[in-house]
Chain A
Amino acid sequence: MQLIFLIVSAVGLLSALGTVLARNLVHAALFLVAFFFAVACQFVLLEAEFLAAIQVLVYIGAVSILLLFGVMLTRNIQGDETTSGHWAWKLPAAIVALGVFGVLGSSITAERGRPGQSSWTGTATRPGGVNPRVGGPASVALAASPTGRSLASADLDGRVRLWLPSGRQDSAFPTAGSTASAVGFSPDGDLVAAADDLGRVLVWDVLARRPAFECLGGLAGRIASVAVGPRRSAEDPADRLAAAAGLDGKVRLWDGPGSEPRVIPAHDGPILAMSFTPDGLLVTAGADRVVKVWDPSPGRPDPGDALAVTIATEPGRPVAALAVSPVPPRPKPEQGDLDLRPGAPAAGAPALDPDPDPAEDNPGGPIVAVASLVSGEPGRWGLRVLDATDGAEVASFEGLDGVPIALALAPDSSRVAALVGPASLASASPGDEAPAAPSVLSWEIGPDVEDPGPVELPVDRSAGVGSRLAVGAGGPLLAIAPPGAPIAFSVGESGPWLSPRSPAATASAVVADMPRAVGDELMTRYVVPFEVAGLMLTAAIVGAIVLARQDSRPASAAGTAADPTALPAVPPVSPRGGDGEFTTVSVSETPGARPER
């Protein structure tokens, strides 16, 4: 990409020099067209494709034609030569121009950026907007949308960012606090909620990209998990329950915007995971090794009476990580041999059910994934996926090669992933000198899965304790947020981890967000090379015209001899009659004017 920029810039600056130095004004105008095209290429590199189209239409299509008309109408093609004197102002003008460029260039390269802002000269400073964030603050929480179309991160700078599966940033919402601490989607994926360090729960509309409502009075600084309930009335999309679960084991429930929270003691220890089911039940999982599925509607009995399922295998053994998913695993949709790998041709979007209906011939309730020690085998960690309503085991994956650090369930319960740290973190093998790098294991779950996996993806060593993990619905998308480092994505069965800055991140990401991903791919693969090729072609044509004209000046007959072949309507005799005076006029501009002379 830097190479493309350098080529485009070199062509652009050479054409700009040609514009101001060419004696022949027609040549100057053609150089100007090449410069305009180079600027259009720069706009493409800056991801302002619309502006590039405007540039081509307005400047190349209108302005340069107008200038050519001006040149022709004043019959002053030789430019400054026809006027009296020569370039008396050339040297002072060059000194002034070089001085201006020196001042601008030195101050640009000397710019180090104000505190809190990125430097102009850094290569990893391209944030914001509709475009991939590069670098930037680390995320403290991740959540995947049930629709499979986006992924939300709560970031240390107090913003909540939505990411498309292609690794592109979709939008960023500011919270009032200095950091955001938790993030969660509503079961229909329309709203995303986040908690900041002031104890506020803010809810945004994902599609409209604007705030929906906010809830005050949460547990400041200690909210570990947030959730928004399903829509309760057809009229008001904001009429929903919002819940924040704190490290104190209590769930605060807001009954719509502006209401006071109801504080409900739900667990004896910190609540680690929480989610609303599509029919309005709340699933909470706490560090007390209990999962509860309960009705949070006003007037319902206390969750103390709710169905509680104990999930730990051995008393006293810690539960390393927990994750809940609001829907039971379902059979995979009839998709044939859907191939989601990056290079696969015609990768159709996975058939996502935008409105999952949990009741359709699907027994079972919400599921919970638990990483804990395998009973009877000290030092061995295992992963179990349980039905949260009755504790029945849905799937079990034993013998993790290390300590599970983070756990994530896809919102459609199609996949479970675990970040497994090196085994030496466990006290079981103190003699292991070179610990293996951490890796992310992911398994498919569901009633008709023959080969659940795992698929293993090694991750960077920075992905240690404190990392967050998310699995996208409907496709093999993984996102990891290591502590203190930006979010990274992985698409495909065994693809590498891609941070958004990598050009390959978007080129290889053809997942759920098909239109945008395909657009990115097309832009990367075809449009930019075509623009560069077109630019080269323009420069070559301009150069050829200049060379041909310069040749034809001393030997005019040679320059015009080729014209009759290019213009078959012109009789071959007629150009020779007028070739003396008109050699410097662009032949193609006024082909019909000459035979009469």
Chain B
Amino acid sequence: MTGGDIPLSWFLLFASAAFAIGLFGVLARRNAIAVLMAIELMLNAANINLVAFWRYSDSPGPEAGPIAGVMLAIFVITVAAAEVAVGIALILLCYRRWHAADVDRYDSLAG
């Protein structure tokens, strides 16, 4: 289609910036749901890298199929969705136990 004039490095820079922002969020936020959101940022940044390298790769070959790189990103999306579901469930359980969503308060495995 269009857009051949965008260098690959632009997508990579965007992805690394989003990844760094997500990393900052994971480290700085104390609310567990905010940490989960920051993890989503990082997973999306990784997805952009996957698709960008697929799109700019030389000669995928006729047997590789037209969406070989997209498949990997779809797996990541699936895992991310499952991870959010499990993560929210865990956070809700912890919230019931400690009455707080602060990750610093979750300091005991046995409760």
Residues of A within 8 A of B (CB): 1-2, 4-5, 9, 12-13, 16-17, 19-20, 25, 28-29, 32, 35-36, 39, 42-43, 45-48, 50-51, 54-55, 58-59, 62-63, 66-67, 69-71, 73-74, 76, 79-80, 82-85, 87, 89-90, 92-94, 96-98, 100-101, 104-105, 108-109, 111, 117-118, 120-132, 134, 159, 168, 171-174, 209-210, 500-503, 506-507, 520, 523-524, 528
- A13 adjacent to B101 (CB under 8 Å): no
Is B30 in the interface zone, CB < 8 Å from A?
A: yes
Distance of B87 from chain A, by nearest CB (Å): 8
- A43 adjacent to B5 (CB under 8 Å): no
**Chain B residues near A122 (CB, 8 Å)?**
7-8
Q: Encode B14-55 as 1/0 by CB contact (under 8 A) with A.
A: 101111111111011111011011101100100110011011
Is B105 in the interface zone, CB < 8 Å from A?
A: yes
Beyond A62-B81, A74-B101, A108-B13, is A20–B58 a contact (Cβ under 8 Å)? Answer: no
Chain B interface extent, by class:
35 or more
Distance of A301 from chain B, by nearest CB (Å): 40
Beyond A28-B37, A83-B105, A127-B56, is A92–B27 a contact (Cβ under 8 Å)? Answer: yes
Q: State which of B1, B11, B70, B92 has its C-beta within 8 Å of the C-beta of A520.
A: B1
Distance of B106 from chain A, by nearest CB (Å): 11
How many Å lie between the Cα of A70 and that of B91 in the bound state? 8
Beyond A9-B14, A16-B18, is A79–B31 a contact (Cβ under 8 Å)? Answer: yes
- B24 adjacent to A96 (CB under 8 Å): yes
- B16 adjacent to A127 (CB under 8 Å): no
**Please, could you name 26 A-B residue pairs with CB atoms under 8 Å apart, sorted by A?**
A1-B3, A2-B5, A5-B3, A13-B17, A13-B18, A20-B34, A35-B41, A42-B11, A43-B51, A51-B51, A51-B70, A59-B80, A66-B88, A70-B88, A80-B29, A84-B102, A94-B24, A96-B24, A97-B20, A97-B24, A101-B19, A104-B16, A120-B56, A125-B56, A127-B59, A501-B5
- B5 adjacent to A129 (CB under 8 Å): no
> Who on chain B is nearest to A47 by CB?
B1
Starting from the known contacts A74-B101, A123-B5, A174-B62, 9 additional A-B residue pairs (CB-CB under 8 Å) come to A5-B10, A19-B38, A59-B44, A74-B95, A76-B100, A83-B105, A93-B23, A109-B9, A528-B2
Distance of A405 from chain B, by nearest CB (Å): 29
How many Å lie between the Cα of A418 and that of B60 in the bound state? 34
Q: State which of A85, A111, A131, A507 has its C-beta within 8 Å of the C-beta of B9.
A: A111
Distance of A459 from chain B, by nearest CB (Å): 21
**Chain B residues near A45 (CB, 8 Å)?**
3, 6
- A20 adjacent to B38 (CB under 8 Å): yes
Distance of B78 from chain A, by nearest CB (Å): 8
- B13 adjacent to A2 (CB under 8 Å): no
How many Å lie between the Cα of A506 and that of B1 in the bound state? 6
**Chain A residues near B13 (CB, 8 Å)?**
105, 108-109
**Chain A residues near B100 (CB, 8 Å)?**
76, 82-83
- B58 adjacent to A100 (CB under 8 Å): no
B24, B40, B41: residue with the most chain A Cβ atoms closer than 10 Å: B24
Interface of A is mostly: helix
How many Å lie between the Cα of A2 and that of B59 in the bound state? 24
**Chain A residues near B80 (CB, 8 Å)?**
58-59, 63
- A80 adjacent to B30 (CB under 8 Å): yes
Q: State which of A20, A47, A159 has its C-beta within 8 Å of the C-beta of B22.
A: A20
Q: State which of A90, A173, A209 has its C-beta within 8 Å of the C-beta of B28.
A: A90
Q: State which of B6, B31, B34, B66 has its C-beta within 8 Å of the C-beta of A2.
A: B6
- A46 adjacent to B34 (CB under 8 Å): no
- A70 adjacent to B3 (CB under 8 Å): no
Q: State which of A12, A51, A71 has its C-beta within 8 Å of the C-beta of B74.
A: A51
**Chain A residues near B107 (CB, 8 Å)?**
none
Q: State which of A82, A101, A126 has its C-beta within 8 Å of the C-beta of B16.
A: A101
How many Å lie between the Cα of A39 and that of B44 in the bound state? 7
- B2 adjacent to A48 (CB under 8 Å): no
Distance of B5 from chain A, by nearest CB (Å): 5
**Chain B residues near A111 (CB, 8 Å)?**
9
Q: State which of A32, A83, A98 has its C-beta within 8 Å of the C-beta of B20.
A: A98
Distance of A346 from chain B, by nearest CB (Å): 22
**Chain B residues near A124 (CB, 8 Å)?**
4-5
Distance of B104 from chain A, by nearest CB (Å): 7
- B21 adjacent to A17 (CB under 8 Å): yes
How many Å lie between the Cα of A423 and that of B65 in the bound state? 47
How many Å lie between the Cα of A19 and that of B23 in the bound state? 12
B14, B17, B37: residue with the most chain A Cβ atoms closer than 10 Å: B37
- A507 adjacent to B2 (CB under 8 Å): yes
- B84 adjacent to A100 (CB under 8 Å): no
Distance of B58 from chain A, by nearest CB (Å): 5
**Chain B residues near A80 (CB, 8 Å)?**
29-31, 34, 102
**Chain A residues near B55 (CB, 8 Å)?**
46-48, 126, 129, 131
**Chain B residues near A109 (CB, 8 Å)?**
9, 13
How many Å lie between the Cα of A534 and that of B70 in the bound state? 24
How many Å lie between the Cα of A435 and that of B95 in the bound state? 82
Q: Encode B81-103 as 1/0 by CB contact (under 8 A) with A.
A: 10011001001100100001110
Distance of A176 from chain B, by nearest CB (Å): 14
> Who on chain A is nearest to B92 by CB?
A73
Q: State which of B20, B24, B81, B91 has its C-beta within 8 Å of the C-beta of A58.
A: B81
Is B111 in the interface zone, CB < 8 Å from A?
A: no
Beyond A67-B33, A131-B55, is A123–B20 a contact (Cβ under 8 Å)? Answer: no
Distance of B105 from chain A, by nearest CB (Å): 7
How many Å lie between the Cα of A171 and that of B20 in the bound state? 37
Q: State which of A1, A83, A121, A128 has its C-beta within 8 Å of the C-beta of B59.
A: A128
**Chain B residues near A105 (CB, 8 Å)?**
13, 16-17
